[in-house]
Structure formats: structure tokens, C-alpha cells
């Protein structure tokens, strides 16, 4: 099927390449000329495992093209909208500028029988408004949210937990049939497919992310209690996680969640609930945000306290900058925030991340970046692990002790073995761990 994907950022680029890998004829459209040139050359503009292969295969086969011109979308039957919905600085609400611009630019090329399928995370009610906006073209609109995780984006797209179609009563039957055709290969694997109305589909996405954020902040709140009671939050998570109703996943306490989705999505949801006169329903999400932001400062405080309150001029190795491992994404990254806060207090921060240093350097040139993990820890008076990259988890405590000038380790992701590190002479501090 001929498909267009509007917006070639994280979501769009992966979706376009994944659709081509399923055998469709895809054009990805973006207003950013540099990005289109990179993608057209079969190169990935960001780090995402597995993307390079399907992108190159798609471009080489001729089934995947990229363009800055919306006219290239003219003969597509399904147009996916995958542009960003960033957080507005003033209200915290979602900024729909890019969604509205995408629809306005696409509109002249929409024809009866074609379908606009929204993927971006939008405030509930957006799909209904856009349906009206394109009504006179004869094209339909459905909401088809994406649940991809960075680091697993390709897998999550071609092998998702479920497919969600939000359609109108008026055109639903036709739209479902068309989307089923797009996703035929995925559906053939037995992937659950849920059909619902548009507002439900919009809410599915935002409530899923709110639930995940809540789970993380819940365990971080337990870490706060553990810290003052001598309890261990990791053992607690293991124990409650065995209850299948709770589950162990997303119960890792530490410096909290970041990234391009969870933080902005919960804020946008709170703003939308306020607009709908239901602010009290989501009041707890403000608390979820607060707990999350407190944990970064907590780690900074632990480091500072270890220097008796005087971190000025002390050498601190901050290991990790990306908001999570296997990603070079530093958006709303707790790791980067910890580095910046320590630097702001006068510490001599040396940061290292296997993938995110170029992005971090552009945004924070004032930080020092080490060329290697070894160079970062060399002579450090404290090590803070803030992104759980494999190579940090696998650091050898005895070997590392020989490189630092003061063996103090702060485990901001609770991924080290406290016993092994203490046995090697380290003063180990986790987040809510004994």
C-alpha cells in the first residue's frame, strides 16, 4: 500500500522504516531539509538499535523515500501523522502547532477514500476537531496511537503488544478495514487489535504513560520512606513484584523518569483535565511529577553531603547523560540534570555516556566530557551512576577503586551490588537501599 508518514522524528522515522519493512511503499515527509537528506541517504539521525538496518534496506529497495514536499503524499491511501507535540513553556499543555501545520499542509493532497491516521500523543478531543477540519476533502480520520519505547522502537512497531484504532461511528467500518490492510502482517501474528472511539484511543495512550509514570514515582516514594526507616526499596520491589496484580516491571527506584514522553505527557494530561473541568481527577499526577523531580535533587544532596556540604572544586564522575540506556536522547534526562546541578554547585563534573555526549555537549557546553569511561573515573572523588548502561553496571569494583582518588559511589539507578562494592572498599550509597 502507498503510505505517507508526516514528521520524521523519533516516531515518524521509525514508523516509516517499519512500514517499508512490512512491504509497503512509503514516503516520509518532514520540513527539516537536513533530516530528509540524512534519511534519504539511508542514515539514521539518532541512535536507535535496529533502525539503521531497516532504513537502509527500505531506501535501497526503493520502497522508502523521504521528501520535504507534501505533494509527495498525494497518492498515498493512508497518511500517518507522527509529528511532535512538545510541552508548552507557559501552561505545560501540549503544543499542537506541528500537528495543525501538518494537517494544513497535507489537506490540499487529501482525497476521498484516503485516511489520516494520527499517531502523535495529543490532548483528548484533538481527533474530533481534526476530523471536522478535513471533512470537506472526503478523507477520513482515525487515531492510532503508538506505544514505542526508545531502544526498542523497531520491535515495538513491528511487533506491538496491541494495536489501537480510534474511529468514528460514521466511517469506522471502512477505516478499520484500511488499517487492517496496513497492519496485515502484524495482525497475522495474533496481535490484539482494539477498535474504539477516537477519545478513548487518545486517552489510551496518555493514560498508559500516566500509569507507567505513577508506577515509577510510587516506588520512588517508597524509596524516600525506605531512606528514613532503614528499609531496602529493591528488596521491597522484588517482594511486591511477585504479586501478579502488581508486577515487578517499572518498579526500579532511582533518579526517576525522563525522556520525550512521560514527563511532558503527564503535564499535558493535567493541563487538559483542567480545561475539561476535571482537574481534581488528575491532581495526583502533579504529585507524581513532584516525587520524580525530587529524586534528582536527592542524589545531588547525597553527593554533596558526602563532602560535608562543600562540593566546590571536588571531582565528580557522572556516568550517564541519556534519560535511559540504549538511547542518545537527553530530553528531560534526570542524568543530565544531576550533572548540571552538581556543576551549578561548583563541583568539577566529568561526564561520560556511550551515546549521548554529542547531544549533551550541544546543550551544555559548560560540562566536561570524558573520552572514555576510564578517563571519567580517573582521579574521581565520587562516582554517580545515573543511566544504567551495561558497561556501568558491569564496572569492576576492585579495578575501579584503583583508579579513583576517593572510593565513594552513588548508585542513582540501584544497579550495583552493594555488598561487592563495599567489600572492595567503597562507600556505597543507593537510592533507598541499605
- 411 makes contact with ligand UDX (CB under 6 A): no
- 150 makes contact with ligand UDX (CB under 6 A): yes
Nearer to ligand UDX, 149 or 155 (CB): 149
Could you say which of 2, 56, 105, 147 contacts ligand UDX (CB under 6 A)? Answer: 147
CA dihedral 265, 271, 277, 278 (to 10 degrees): 40
Rg (CA), the chain: 23
User: Is 261 known to be catalytic?
Assistant: yes
Catalytic annotation, pick one of 223, 261, 317, 321: 261
Which DSSP category does 279 fall into?
G
Could you say which of 38, 120, 157, 209 contacts ligand UDX (CB under 6 A)? Answer: 209
Q: List the helix and strand counts (H, then E) for the chain.
A: 18, 14
Quick check: 77 and 1 in contact, CB under 8 A?
Answer: yes
**String marking each residue 301-340 x if it binds ligand UDX according to CB under 6 A:** ----------------------xx----------------
Quick check: 43 and 81 in contact, CB under 8 A?
Answer: no
Could you say which of 212, 377, 409, 431 contacts ligand UDX (CB under 6 A)? Answer: 212
- 252 makes contact with ligand UDX (CB under 6 A): yes
List the beta strands (DSSP E) in 68-136.
78-81, 115-118
- 9 makes contact with ligand UDX (CB under 6 A): no
Distance in angstroms (rounded) separating the CA atoms of residues 237 and 219: 7
Distance in angstroms (rounded) separating the CA atoms of residues 137 and 6: 18
Could you say which of 2, 176, 250, 375 contacts ligand UDX (CB under 6 A)? Answer: 250
- How many residues at the interface with ligand UDX, by CB under 6 A? 19
Could you say which of 256, 397, 412, 418 contacts ligand UDX (CB under 6 A)? Answer: 256
Footprint (CB under 6 A) of ligand UDX, residues 106-145: none
- 259 makes contact with ligand UDX (CB under 6 A): yes
Measured in whole angstroms, the distance separating CA 72 from the mean position of its chain's CA atoms is 29
Closest CA to 199 of 161, 142, 275, 146: 142
b/e sequence 211-243, b meaning 16+ C-beta within 10 Å: ebbbbbbbbbbbbbebbeeeebbbebbeebeee
- 80 makes contact with ligand UDX (CB under 6 A): no
- 10 makes contact with ligand UDX (CB under 6 A): no
Distance in angstroms (rounded) separating the CA atoms of residues 291 and 175: 41
Nearer to ligand UDX, 84 or 407 (CB): 84
Could you say which of 165, 183, 257, 307 contacts ligand UDX (CB under 6 A)? Answer: 257
Quick check: 412 and 431 in contact, CB under 8 A?
Answer: yes
Q: What is the nearest approach in angstroms of ligand UDX to the Cβ of residue 215?
A: 7
Distance in angstroms (rounded) separating the CA atoms of residues 149 and 155: 9
- 254 makes contact with ligand UDX (CB under 6 A): yes
- 272 makes contact with ligand UDX (CB under 6 A): no
Footprint (CB under 6 A) of ligand UDX, residues 24-63: none
Three cell numbers at 361?
Answer: 555537549
b/e sequence 163-187, b meaning 16+ C-beta within 10 Å: bbbbbbeebbeebeebbeebbeebe
Q: What is the nearest approach in angstroms of ligand UDX to the Cβ of residue 278?
A: 23
Q: What is the nearest approach in angstroms of ligand UDX to the Cβ of residue 261?
A: 3
Nearer to ligand UDX, 83 or 262 (CB): 262
Q: Where are the alpha helices (DSSP H) in 33-152?
A: 33-40, 51-61, 97-106, 126-134
Catalytic residues: 261
Q: Which residues bind ligand UDX (CB under 6 A)?
A: 147-150, 209, 212, 216, 250-252, 254, 256-259, 261-262, 323-324
Amino acid at each position: 500500500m502507498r503510505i505517507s508518514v508526516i514528521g520524521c522524528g523519533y516516531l515518524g522515522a521509525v514508523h516509516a522504516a517499519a512500514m517499508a519493512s512490512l512491504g509497503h511503499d512509503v514516503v516520509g515527509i518532514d520540513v527539516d531539509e537536513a533530516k530528509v537528506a540524512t534519511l534519504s541517504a539511508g542514515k539514521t539521525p539518532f541512535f536507535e538499535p535496529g533502525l539503521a538496518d531497516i532504513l537502509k534496506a527500505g531506501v535501497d529497495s526503493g520502497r522508502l523515500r523521504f521528501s520535504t514536499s507534501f505533494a509527495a503524499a498525494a497518492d498515498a491511501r493512508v497518511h500517518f501523522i507522527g509529528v511532535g507535540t512538545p510541552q508548552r513553556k507557559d501552561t505545560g499543555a501540549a503544543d499542537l502547532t506541528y500537528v495543525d501545520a501538518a494537517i494544513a499542509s497535507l489537506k490540499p493532497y487529501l482525497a476521498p477514500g484516503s485516511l489520516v491516521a494520527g499517531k502523535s500523543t495529543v490532548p483528548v478531543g484533538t481527533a474530533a476537531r481534526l476530523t471536522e477540519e478535513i471533512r470537506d476533502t472526503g478523507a477520513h480520520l482515525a487515531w492510532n496511537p503508538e506505544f514505542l519505547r526508545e531502544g526498542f522502537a523497531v520491535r515495538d512497531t513491528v511487533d506491538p503488544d496491541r494495536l489501537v484504532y480510534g474511529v468514528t461511528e460514521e466511517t469506522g467500518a471502512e477505516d478499520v478495514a484500511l488499517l487492517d490492510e496496513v497492519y496485515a502482517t502484524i495482525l497475522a501474528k495474533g496481535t490484539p487489535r482494539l477498535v474504539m472511539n477516537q477519545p478513548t484511543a487518545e486517552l489510551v495512550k496518555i493514560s498508559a504513560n500516566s500509569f507507567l509514570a505513577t508506577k515509577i514515582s510510587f516506588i520512588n516514594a517508597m524509596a524516600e520512606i525506605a531512606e528514613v526507616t532503614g528499609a531496602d526499596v529493591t528488596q521491597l520491589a522484588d517482594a511486591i513484584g511477585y504479586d501478579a496484580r502488581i508486577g515487578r516491571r517499572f518498579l526500579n527506584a532511582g533518579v526517576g523518569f525522563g525522556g520525550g514522553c512521560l514527563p511532558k505527557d503527564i503535564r499535558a494530561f493535567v493541563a487538559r483535565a483542567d480545561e475539561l473541568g476535571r482537574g481534581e481527577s488528575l491532581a495526583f499526577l502533579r504529585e507524581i511529577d513532584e516525587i520524580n523531580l525530587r529524586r534528582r535533587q536527592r542524589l545531588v544532596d547525597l553527593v554533596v553531603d558526602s563532602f560535608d556540604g562543600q562540593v566546590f572544586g571536588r571531582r565528580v564522575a557522572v556516568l550517564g547523560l541519556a534519560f535511559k540506556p540504549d538511547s542518545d536522547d537527553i530530553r528531560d534526562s534526570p542524568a543530565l540534570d544531576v550533572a548540571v546541578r552538581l556543576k551549578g554547585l561548583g563541583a568539577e563534573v566529568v561526564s561520560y555516556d556511550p551515546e549521548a555526549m554529542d547531544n549533551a555537549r550541544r546543550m551544555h557546553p559548560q560540562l566536561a566530557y570524558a573520552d572514555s569511561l576510564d578517563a571519567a573515573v580517573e582521579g574521581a572523588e565520587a562516582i554517580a551512576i545515573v543511566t544504567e548502561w551495561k558497561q556501568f553496571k558491569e564496572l569492576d569494583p576492585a579495578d575501579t577503586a584503583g583508579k579513583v582518588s576517593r572510593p565513594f559511589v552513588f548508585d542513582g539507578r540501584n544497579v550495583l551490588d552493594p555488598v561487592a562494592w563495599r567489600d572492595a572498599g567503597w562507600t556505597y550509597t543507593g537510592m533507598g537501599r541499605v
